[in-house]
Chains A and B, each alone.
Chain A
């Protein structure tokens, strides 16, 4: 069953917490991975791979650069999940 946007944001929050140590409550739709959440370009790759596994979705490298905010990532996953 496909995840809701709320579930996706909660999942991303857990992933970002694991990788960057940011409290889950700080991971909100409008937050930028690099500017607000201490996720650099290398750590973003880890976030993407973890999200792919968790939500059973493929995020090609070319699309990763468009995922600036948590909202961008949540929308992408919502649209592309099986």
Chain B
């Protein structure tokens, strides 16, 4: 790992509790520019929670998040951690793209409208410029011909590609993928996978939470296995799948997945 560079995003001692359950229990993680990180693990292991805390959709209870070296998004009040004002948090989120398991496209906007929405509303770009960016992004995910239809008419794979284009239109520095293929029919996984693969080849920094081992094998610079809110194992994909088979928990998990 290239440690002389500054991490794009760095997590220190992240703890997230839900009532009685501790979802993330003291995680440290640094993601470097251009890195492709894949987090795997059984459901309930805290991997989605960790991912969502990276763009402040999940409010952590303890820890520090640094974005480009600066402590980001939280203030201390009465000895407790609080999410900062939205004037602070929203611009941070605008630099981090997120793709959800269930797409969450805006159903009342056309495909083009969905992709334009970020540049238009958040970055306050003129409509013509936002439109040009959106058309660019739609071309990138191969859906230029669908620009005027509503999301309801798209297949799951197409929806997810539009969702990726929507996130990319903000020109983010980091892309987070939260199980991007888990809600798709098996025959539709390929097109989404290819889209993410192409993005990786362009050098985008990305963190992917997935059950899809193809991501880990083909895309990842680093694979992290998470369970019970902590990192159990971590490594480059080649060694990870060979060496970690000695680990009981990982072996059980992988044997169920593959």
Partners in one complex: no
B residues touching A (Cβ–Cβ < 8 Å)?
A: none
